[in-house]
């Protein structure tokens, strides 16, 4: 019986699932709490209101809505509509509507005055424009009239989330900011503006004077708004011929779309918009009635995220948006001579939408100006630009047609794919170069991990993009695939680095433990000849290597041209790795002194742990970045700056590792310079390019800081290469490592300081080189401060400067020439001397002295 009962954790899980289900069922979208009307009743009531509003739209005439304004004489009767928001009792700021219309008219005149014929406008304005806005208070004498907005009176049956006027959302309080308008024009057909005039049947359908429905998403950014600003959806009418659009928000306290014809500038616009809206709104309301049990969404909702307009709506400011499209400058195009403007525009639009290689001029960008009026909150905004503002302050709204924008994104995504490809190639070269344990040991894990993290972030955001934007699917997929390749290669490289550096980490841990356990005698793994493993001969591509263990005998049979034996297959690497692990990891306790067979599982499991840490960090960063989207602008900018600065510190761990390991040749110069440039390129694009695809604001100062920071790190790396890894660091900061380039002085002869071969004592176990006469000549010339010895690796002559006895060595240490001269030779702790190039090449494969097989400290 107890077997069938789930263990306690199972109960917890079940409870958790029940709680989750409970939350899902009671989430606000799913229904009103008890005591409120059901969503269905609510929708039915709303449709009744729509019907009434539609009736008003059908019945009203031009100038039926002429509210009381300052200009109007007292005897002229003000007329209002029986529509929510258009009534006198609503007390909206309609006294400014005439100023709004006047300003709109001015913007239209300005756009068409010196910019060519009004017919030279794009007929399909689907696209994105952005620019700056400024508050317009020209028509106000002093403060705006105090108004009492009473939501209970305006919309009696609605349960508002709150009623206090101060907390209404979308209330723009600043004097200027940025805005963006995303226009979407569907192909639903329109109505004729002049239905009664006879038509020329030969004209193409596009040049007919029609009015069409249009919707747009307006984003207005202000100090008071969070993230990118207030997002709102506006619906309205587009007169393509004139390039004019009028859009409004619609909500329970403002029947915007139903009263829209009364906000137009002239009778023609009134007539055509009334006919269009009468037709389309009727259709819309009918379909709402049909689907009342299925679909409760509000087609004119102004909240882009929740089209349902919840049963408890949040009151927000309403907007009326007038947009004038600027005619494009066709004077430079050669086609102008052959075709009349409508055909040129038609050709451009056709080619953009259905590309088939037609010879069209370069498509001009989209430019618009706008006036925005909020009837309830009583403010008026306009796009910043001439003539009210100098062009430096703003040039109204600029942007691109949808197709051009898509094309741009695709182009840049491809460019990014190439950048990532370059990174992959560099990483490949680097991981090929660092393919032996001693070279891998110099690479900083964190430098590579930081790059990997950035690539993984790029990959996840691009996969998100390719999943959500079907139009960008191929390009985003290409780029995210190359990012994935980069991640895969990086993970492989990192796991190699990690497993090679594993003994080192364990040793550090063990040293720490040993220091703690003071009672036990410290058994530091000192590299003495006794502990150096005497193993079987190394089988290499060049044959079986049987070097004797004698310290002084150079291998005589090695060919001079081919001193370094390049491993020809992976097995050798594996063998070396194994030997390395065995040689460096001297265990503390004899019981743990197992052969290398126990190593792989341990290292893989700990790499797994590190990998999980990496993935967790990545997830955390992703979530933080996602939530950062909704932060207010200064916070978000700060976050982006901090994140990019941290990212571009990726050479710091390598510098630190160079210092700790006292090695210089961690990474290839190709890799360092290439990665720095390639990784800066996308940032350069977003920080410097004016109309970049993310609409990010340019900030060349921040970019200079980033690039400068990378440059400084590269300079430090160069300094480490030339002056030694620990230049400019006080000696007390680190424990002195082995100096491969010591100053050789005859003073040390007594203490055994000079390398074997340079000591000219008669009894030394040196093989005196039989010198040719030429050698003798050159030697005698520099007698006193240069000595010659054979390099055991290449069998060539090695000349080393030696400071004569009695001369102080401290003076010579300073000169750069002397220092570079010292870079020519390397002295091992076992007092063997070689060419630097020869020993460095050797040490890429083995950290053992080629002569006596004693362990060598890493470079
Ligand atoms: C619109 O008004 C006309 C009369 O002006 C009327 O015949 C028609 O039924 C009305 N249509 C709607 C949908 O209310
Ligand atoms: C306005 O419309 C409502 C119906 O929604 C109606 O009850 C009211 O009488 C109308 N007011 C006027 C002045 O026509
Ligand atoms: C709003 O109108 C309702 C009904 O007319 C009234 O009871 C309420 O006091 C008004 N609220 C304010 C703040 O004027
Ligand atoms: C305008 O262009 C968009 C994007 O190509 C297209 O989806 C839409 O149907 C076009 N609208 C009209 C009225 O041609
Ligand atoms: C609105 O549409 C109805 C038919 O749905 C039509 O009878 C009426 O005349 C239209 N009104 C206007 C002002 O176009
Ligand atoms: C909007 O902001 C203004 C200025 O801060 C404030 O006076 C007003 O009450 C707010 N709300 C509305 C609905 O205007
Ligand atoms: Zn050599
Ligand atoms: Zn040696």
- pLDDT digits 0-9 by tens, 459-488: 988 888 888 888 888 888 889 999 999 999
Q: How far is the CA of 246 from the centre of ligand 5 (A)?
A: 21
Atom 8, ligand 5: which residue's CA is nearest? 58
Q: How far is the CA of 482 from the centre of ligand 3 (A)?
A: 63
Lookup: tokens for 439: 């070279």
Torsion, Cα of 114, 120, 125, 129 (10° steps): -30
- pLDDT digits 0-9 by tens, 763-779: 434 444 444 434 444 44
Q: How far is the CA of 126 from the centre of ligand 4 (A)?
A: 6
For residue 53, which ligand has an atom nearest its CA? 2
Burial class (CB in 10 A: 0-12, 13-18, 19+), 766: middle
Atom 6, ligand 3: which residue's CA is nearest? 152
pLDDT at 146: 82
- Residue with the larger pLDDT of the pair 112 and 479: 479
Pairing of strands 244-248, 825-827: unpaired
* Number of H-type helices and E-type strands within the chain: 22, 16
Question: Which of 663, 670, 769, 681 shows the shortest CA–CA distance to 721?
Answer: 663
Q: What is the pTM of this model?
A: 0.72
Atom 4, ligand 5: which residue's CA is nearest? 279
Specify whether the CB–CB gap between 664 and 737 falls below 8 A.
no
Count of C-beta atoms within a 10 Å radius of residue 504 = 15
For residue 54, which ligand has an atom nearest its CA? 1
Ligand 6 atom at minimum distance from 378 CA = 14
Average pLDDT over residues 296-300: 77
Atom 1, ligand 2: which residue's CA is nearest? 82
pLDDT at 485: 92
Question: Which of 614, 597, 584, 430 shows the shortest CA–CA distance to 500?
Answer: 584
Q: How far, in whole angstroms, is CA 268 from its chain's centroid?
A: 49
Q: Is the CB of 52 under 6 A from ligand 1?
A: no
Average pLDDT over residues 542-562: 40
Q: Helix/strand/coil (H, E, C) string of 493-545?
A: HHHHHHHHHHHHHHHHHHHHHHHHCCCCCCCCCCCCCCCCCCCCCEEECCEEE
Specify whether the CB–CB gap between 168 and 317 falls below 8 A.
yes
Phi, psi torsion values for 134, nearest 5 degrees: -135, 150
pLDDT at 814: 57
Flag the least confident range among 92-96, 199-203, 507-511, 515-519.
199-203
Which residues, judged by CB distance below 6 Å to any ligand atom, belong to the binding site of ligand 6?
149, 165-166, 168, 171, 173, 317, 377
For residue 83, which ligand has an atom nearest its CA? 2
d(CA 54, CA 48): 10
Question: Which of 544, 65, 136, 119 shows the shortest CA–CA distance to 380?
Answer: 136
**Banded model confidence at residue 325, pLDDT cuts 50, 70, 90:** very high
pLDDT at 506: 78
d(CA 683, CA 681): 5
DSSP secondary structure letter of residue 790: E
**Banded model confidence at residue 78, pLDDT cuts 50, 70, 90:** confident
**Banded model confidence at residue 288, pLDDT cuts 50, 70, 90:** confident
pLDDT at 118 over 60: no
**Banded model confidence at residue 341, pLDDT cuts 50, 70, 90:** low
pLDDT at 575: 45
Flag the least confident range among 194-208, 560-574, 839-853.
560-574
Specify whether the CB–CB gap between 691 and 397 falls below 8 A.
no
Residue with tokens 């918009």: 273
d(CA 538, CA 117): 86
Specify whether the CB–CB gap between 794 and 563 falls below 8 A.
yes
Average pLDDT over residues 216-237: 84
Mutating to test ligand 3, I would choose from 146, 152, 164 the residue with most ligand atoms within 8 A of its C-beta, which is: 152
Question: Which of 180, 181, 175, 163 shows the shortest CA–CA distance to 224?
Answer: 175
pLDDT at 550: 39
Lookup: tokens for 540: 């290499």
For residue 527, which ligand has an atom nearest its CA? 8
DSSP secondary structure letter of residue 803: B
- Residue with the larger pLDDT of the pair 14 and 52: 52
**Banded model confidence at residue 156, pLDDT cuts 50, 70, 90:** confident
**Banded model confidence at residue 307, pLDDT cuts 50, 70, 90:** low
d(CA 269, CA 279): 15
pLDDT at 633: 77
pLDDT at 334 over 70: no
**Banded model confidence at residue 297, pLDDT cuts 50, 70, 90:** confident
Q: How far is the CA of 688 from the centre of ligand 2 (A)?
A: 57
Q: How far, in whole angstroms, is CA 554 from its chain's centroid?
A: 56
d(CA 671, CA 431): 10
d(CA 237, CA 211): 7
Average pLDDT of the residues of the chain = 77
Count of C-beta atoms within a 10 Å radius of residue 490 = 22
- Residue with the larger pLDDT of the pair 749 and 732: 732
Average pLDDT over residues 808-822: 65
Specify whether the CB–CB gap between 279 and 195 falls below 8 A.
no
d(CA 406, CA 469): 10
- pLDDT digits 0-9 by tens, 178-222: 899 999 988 877 787 777 666 666 555 445 678 899 999 999 988
Q: Using alpha carbons only, how large is the chain's radius of gyration in Å?
A: 39
Q: Which residues contact 234 (CB under 8 A, 6 or more apart)?
A: 215, 216, 217, 218, 247, 248, 249, 302, 319, 321
Specify whether the CB–CB gap between 789 and 767 falls below 8 A.
no
- DSSP letter string over 313-374? PPPB---EEEEEEPPP--TT-THHHHS-HHHHHHHHHHHHHS-S----PPPPPEEEEEEEE-
Lookup: tokens for 22: 């409970």
Question: Which of 31, 843, 275, 484 shows the shortest CA–CA distance to 476?
Answer: 484
Q: How far, in whole angstroms, is CA 114 from its chain's centroid?
A: 41
d(CA 41, CA 845): 80
Give strand pairing partners of 132: 178
Q: How far is the CA of 280 from the centre of ligand 1 (A)?
A: 14
Task: Please give the biggest Cα pair distance in the chain.
Answer: 129
pLDDT at 533: 41
Q: Is the CB of 58 under 6 A from ligand 1?
A: yes
> How many residues does this entry show for the chain?
859
For residue 154, which ligand has an atom nearest its CA? 3
Lookup: tokens for 101: 């219309």
Mutating to test ligand 4, I would choose from 184, 353, 401, 469 the residue with most ligand atoms within 8 A of its C-beta, which is: 353
pLDDT at 582 over 60: no
Q: How far is the CA of 43 from the centre of ligand 8 (A)?
A: 90
d(CA 404, CA 691): 12
Ligand 5 atom at minimum distance from 275 CA = 14
Phi, psi torsion values for 22, nearest 5 degrees: -60, -45
d(CA 269, CA 246): 10
């Amino acid at each position: 019986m107890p077997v069938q009962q789930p263990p306690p954790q199972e109960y917890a899980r079940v409870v958790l699932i029940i709680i989750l289900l409970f939350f899902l069922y009671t989430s606000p979208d799913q229904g009103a709490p008890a005591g409120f009307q059901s969503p269905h009743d609510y929708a039915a009531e709303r449709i009744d209101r729509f019907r009434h509003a539609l009736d008003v739209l059908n019945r009203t005439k031009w100038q039926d809505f002429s509210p009381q304004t300052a200009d109007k004489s007292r005897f002229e009767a003000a007329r209002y509509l029986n529509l929510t928001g258009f009534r006198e009792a609503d007390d909206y700021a309609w006294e400014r509507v005439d100023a709004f219309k006047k300003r709109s008219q001015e913007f239209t005149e300005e756009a068409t005055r010196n910019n060519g014929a009004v017919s030279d406008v794009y007929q399909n304005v689907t696209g994105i424009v952005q620019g700056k806005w400024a508050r317009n208070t020209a028509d106000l004498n002093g403060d705006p009239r105090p108004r009492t907005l009473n939501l209970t009176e305006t919309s009696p049956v609605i349960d508002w989330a709150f009623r206090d006027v101060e907390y209404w959302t979308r209330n723009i309080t600043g004097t200027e900011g940025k805005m963006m308008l995303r226009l979407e024009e569907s192909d639903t057909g329109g109505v004729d503006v002049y239905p009664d005039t006879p038509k020329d049947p030969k004209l193409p359908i596009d040049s007919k004077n029609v009015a069409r429905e249009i919707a747009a998403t307006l984003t207005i950014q202000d100090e008071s708004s969070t993230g990118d600003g207030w997002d709102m959806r506006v619906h309205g009418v587009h007169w393509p011929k004139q390039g004019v659009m009028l859009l409004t928000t619609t909500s329970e306290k403002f029947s915007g779309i139903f009263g829209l014809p009364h906000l137009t500038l002239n009778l023609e616009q009134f007539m055509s918009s009334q006919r269009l809206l009468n037709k389309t709104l009727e259709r819309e309301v009918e379909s709402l009635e049909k689907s009342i049990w299925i679909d409760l969404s509000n087609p004119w909702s102004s909240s882009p995220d929740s089209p349902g307009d919840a049963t408890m709506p949040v009151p927000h400011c309403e907007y009326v948006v007038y947009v004038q499209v600027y005619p494009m400058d066709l004077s430079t195009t050669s086609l102008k001579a052959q075709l009349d403007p409508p055909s040129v525009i038609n050709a451009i639009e056709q080619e953009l939408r259905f590309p088939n290689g037609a010879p069209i001029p370069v498509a001009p960008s989209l430019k618009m100006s706008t006036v925005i009026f909020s009837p309830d909150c009583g403010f008026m905004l306009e796009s910043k630009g001439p003539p009210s503002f100098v062009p430096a302050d703003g040039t109204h709204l600029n942007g691109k047609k949808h197709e051009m924008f898509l094309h741009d994104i695709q182009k840049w995504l491809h460019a990014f794919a190439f950048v990532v490809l370059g990174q992959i190639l560099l990483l490949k070269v680097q991981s090929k170069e660092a393919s032996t344990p001693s070279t891998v040991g110099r690479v900083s894990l964190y430098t590579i991990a930081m790059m990997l993290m950035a690539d993984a972030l790029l990959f996840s955001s691009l996969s998100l993009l390719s999943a959500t934007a079907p139009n960008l699917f191929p390009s985003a997929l290409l780029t995210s695939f190359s990012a994935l390749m980069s991640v895969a290669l990086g993970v492989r490289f990192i796991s190699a680095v990690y497993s090679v550096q594993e003994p080192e980490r364990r040793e550090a841990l063990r040293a720490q433990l040993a220091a703690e356990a003071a009672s036990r005698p410290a058994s530091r793994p000192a590299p003495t000849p006794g502990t150096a493993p005497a193993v079987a001969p190394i089988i290499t591509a060049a044959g079986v290597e049987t070097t004797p263990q004698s310290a002084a005998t150079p291998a005589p049979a090695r060919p001079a041209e081919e001193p370094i034996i390049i491993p020809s297959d992976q097995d050798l690497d594996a063998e070396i790795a194994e030997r390395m692990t065995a040689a460096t990891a001297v265990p503390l306790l004899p019981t743990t002194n197992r052969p290398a067979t126990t190593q792989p599982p341990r290292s893989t499991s700990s790499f797994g742990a590190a990998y999980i840490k990496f993935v967790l960090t990545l997830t955390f960063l992703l979530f933080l970045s996602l939530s950062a989207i909704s932060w207010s602008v200064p916070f978000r900018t700060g976050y982006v700056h901090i994140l990019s600065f941290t990212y571009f510190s990726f050479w710091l761990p390598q510098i630190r590792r160079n210092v700790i390991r006292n090695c210089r040749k961690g990474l290839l110069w190709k890799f360092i310079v290439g990665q720095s440039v390639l990784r800066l390129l996308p940032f350069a694009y977003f920080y410097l390019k004016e109309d970049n695809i993310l609409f990010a604001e340019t900030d060349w100062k921040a970019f200079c800081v980033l690039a400068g920071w990378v440059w400084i790190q590269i300079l430090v790396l160069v300094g480490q290469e030339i002056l030694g890894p620990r230049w400019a660091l006080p000696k007390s900061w680190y424990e002195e490592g082995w100096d491969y380039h010591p100053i050789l002085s005859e003073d040390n002869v007594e203490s055994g300081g000079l390398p074997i071969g340079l000591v000219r004592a008669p009894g030394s176990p040196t093989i005196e080189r039989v010198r040719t006469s030429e050698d003798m000549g050159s030697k005698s010339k520099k007698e006193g401060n240069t000595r010659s010895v054979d390099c055991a690796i290449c069998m060539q002559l090695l000349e080393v400067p030696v400071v004569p006895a009695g001369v102080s060595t401290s003076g010579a240490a300073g000169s750069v020439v002397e220092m570079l001269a010292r870079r020519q030779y390397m002295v091992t702790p076992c007092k063997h001397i070689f060419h630097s190039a020869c020993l460095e090449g050797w040490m890429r494969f083995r950290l053992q002295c080629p002569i006596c097989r004693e362990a060598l400290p890493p470079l």
